[in-house]
Amino acid sequence: MYRSIARLALQHQRCLVRHINSAARKRRSLPSAFPVLDLPLQAIHQHVYEANHRNSKTCHNKYIELNKKVTKGGGDNAIARHTQRNRKLLVQDRLRLLLDDEDFIELSRFAGLGLPYGDIPSAGCLTGIGRINGLWCVFIANDATVKGGTAYPITVKKQLRAQEVAIQNRLPCVYLVDSGGAFLPLQSEIFPDKNQGGRTFYNEAIMSAMKIPQVSVVCGSCTAGGAYIPTMAEEAVMVHRIGTMFLGGPPLVKAATGEEVTPEDLGGARLHAEVSGCVDHFAWEEKEAFEYTRNIISTLNFTLPEENENEENMRNEEERPLYSSDELLGLAPRSYNYSLDVKMVISRLTDGSRFQEFKGCFGTTLITGFAKIYGHLIGIVANNGELSYQAALKGSHFVQLCDQRDVPLLFLQNTAPSAALTLSVPQAEIHSNRIKAQGSMMSAVACASVPKITVVIGGCHGADSYAMCGRSFDPNFLFLWPNARVSMTAAGHAGSLLHPNSEHQQDDKEMANKMEHNLNKKFEEESSAFFSSGRLWDDGVILPQDTRRVLRDCLDIIKQQQYQLSTEKLQSVLLRI
């Protein structure tokens, strides 16, 4: 009796969920006729526009150069060894078999470049979000052409960030494992700490308990720590002759016991599918493994919104901005002094260049308001000068408003190069008020539970960048334009950090000047977008003209969780056999 009541209650709950989801699918946002931002380029902008454009071209060339470098992975010899001797597919070809199409968001493509321990192309693994049978999934795929797919500290950081993206946006995870485990010379930076190697496995368990599906494909070596990724996944596929999984390989067995054993007998696909049960699907070849994986994704119990092709086309065509996205290249500021009205940037990103401004006459160094991107309603917060007292108050108000209405936030960040100096008592009072208002905006941003996306379109400096949802404020996604500059204080402004009346400066002006010069040089070198992205302080460098499409994908991705049918259970899928 009790059981049948429980069953009825469960059925009722499922009906309700289905009803809510079908309602969500059918829902249309209210019609809007936000005012058009009629802001064409004018003669007065020409000088700044052209300087920005030249700088954007230089940055673009650097982008192309790094892109080429990364595409080669571990280099020609390693590629030949991987494909000819080891008979494995390259990671890009694996993704082609796994994903529906090539329209995916790759995360932090330049991570690993220019590090103290060398260039590690793509940090030795590709991560991103792509569609499998229409469902957006996070993928984490080792590139074994880079030192056998071993994990450097930056590899671990990149994998953990991809998992964080999956957690924050509730996206299924697919791991393509082909890794020799830890890169041993750097083991102390990979193994012991909280956010290091072990965290990957911890996250797998936690995500599974949160009902974020975990699927793994063993398509190469899976040695030592790497072996836990498939073992802890909810479902794992392994490829015959290519996949191996063990804690210590044949050389270790030989050294310890003198016994000669083949990798296949020690931990091949047959053994793990038939004897240990560590994997659930045996595939004869890689192509078959990816077919299994795509089918596994179909069993996750998600539904997708019904697509009407005509509507989709209309959405793409009719609501384009009035101006070409190429004009963003001339609006991307080469430095803070070259910033044009940020509404010109907004008008080249939003549907129909429409923007419903909020508090347009108050705190005008911050622009806030509502717009749509491919039909998604968003709240935009954009720097248009220093984050003054009024601007920060307005920012807090608007962020809370969006939080109240469940409207995702887009921050367009271009913060002032340095904090203003306090040289008098009235100035001190102004600055104290400003600190209070900025603190309030930071608090509003930190506590807003709506999804947040940050795009650094210019400078990312000082405390203003925190209030504008910098990395430490946990945006769902944070991208940089190639012209972006990331540093505490912008190059050329180091003097503002050094005390103007210090004895040291009076005694030895030359030395102080030298110090300032060196500091500015350091800021210059360390503030480029590529330096930042190499260290994974962001989710990647995107081109200004691609921004609207990237934002559309991010907003689609964020929205996907409403189509998950089964509800949360606080237990991971447990252990095999």
Residues making contact with ligand COA (CB under 6 A): 81, 86, 147-148, 150, 180-184, 221, 223-224, 249
CA end-to-end span of the chain, whole Å?
A: 33
- Smallest separation, CB 77 to ligand COA (Å): 8
Q: Which of 401, 322, 412 is nearest to 366 (CA)?
A: 412
**Cβ closer to ligand COA: 86 or 505?**
86
**Cβ closer to ligand COA: 180 or 408?**
180
- Smallest separation, CB 75 to ligand COA (Å): 9
- Smallest separation, CB 519 to ligand COA (Å): 37
**Cβ closer to ligand COA: 187 or 390?**
187
Task: Give CA–CA dist 35/19, Å, rounded.
Answer: 35
**Cβ closer to ligand COA: 221 or 487?**
221
**Contact status, residue 376 vs residue 407, Cβ threshold 8 Å:** no
List of residues 6+ apart from 100 with CB closer than 8 A: 130, 131, 132, 133, 134
Angle between helices 197-209 and 153-169 (to 10 degrees): 10
Specify the DSSP element, H or E, that contains 523.
helix 509-526
- Smallest separation, CB 293 to ligand COA (Å): 22
**Cβ closer to ligand COA: 192 or 500?**
192
- Smallest separation, CB 80 to ligand COA (Å): 11
**Cβ closer to ligand COA: 150 or 347?**
150
DSSP state letters, 38-90: -----GGGHHHHHHHHHHHHHHHHHHHHHHHHHHTTT-HHHHHIIIIIS----
Q: CB nearest ligand COA: which residue? A: 180
3-class secondary-structure state, position 16: helix
- Smallest separation, CB 93 to ligand COA (Å): 17
Q: Which is it for the CA torsion 32, 394, 329, 327, positive or negative?
A: positive
- Smallest separation, CB 56 to ligand COA (Å): 37
**Cβ closer to ligand COA: 172 or 181?**
181
- Smallest separation, CB 252 to ligand COA (Å): 7
**Cβ closer to ligand COA: 147 or 452?**
147
Task: Give CA–CA dist 333/57, Å, rounded.
Answer: 12
Task: Give CA–CA dist 245/267, Å, rounded.
Answer: 5
**Residue 132: Cβ within 10 Å count:** 23
**Cβ closer to ligand COA: 160 or 469?**
160
- Smallest separation, CB 121 to ligand COA (Å): 13
- Smallest separation, CB 180 to ligand COA (Å): 3
- Smallest separation, CB 63 to ligand COA (Å): 28
**Cβ closer to ligand COA: 83 or 561?**
83
- With tokens 């969920």, the residue in question is 17
3-class secondary-structure state, position 489: coil
38-45 long-range Cβ contacts below 8 angstroms, 24+ apart:
38/322, 38/347, 38/353, 39/323, 39/341, 39/343, 39/344, 39/347, 39/353, 40/323, 41/327, 41/330, 41/344, 45/330, 45/340
**Cβ closer to ligand COA: 140 or 165?**
140
The DSSP letter of residue 326 is: G
